[in-house]
Amino acid sequence: MTVCMIGTSLASYFWAGRGFVLSVLLVGVAYAILDQRWIRAEIDAPGWDGTPDQDAIFYLGVAIRLVFMSVILFATFVTTLFVASRFGNGKSL
């Protein structure tokens, strides 16, 4: 999460709003892929009982994590732009 915040901060500093959108898209794709692999490994593990609603719960969990991460990245984006405008790099919303 710290790496994502630093990456968003740097992208926001150099590319303003485009950097934020790129960061959210990249983090969202990364989280979805990592969660899919993690859940698939758990399902393939011995002893899985095959509960039928796990797919819905998985996608709900991914959505909640993406919303939570997007809020944190947005706060990082706004803070970076505020600090950058205070110290004179000329970029603003």
* 3-state SS assignment for residue 44: helix
In contact, 62 and 31? CB cutoff 8 Å = yes
Q: Is the pLDDT of residue 43 over 70?
A: yes
% of the chain surpassing 90 pLDDT: 0
Please name the residue that has the structure tokens 């609603």.
53
Please name the residue that has the structure tokens 């993406």.
66
Query: Terminal CA-to-CA distance of the chain, rounded, Å?
Result: 24
Residue 29 banded pLDDT, cuts 50, 70, 90: confident
The DSSP symbol for 10 reads: H
Burial per residue of 30-52, b for 16 or more beta-carbon CB atoms within 10 angstroms, e otherwise: eeeeebeeebeeeeeeeeeeeee
Distance CA(89)–CA(10), nearest Å, equals 13
Q: What's the whole-number average pLDDT of the chain? A: 76
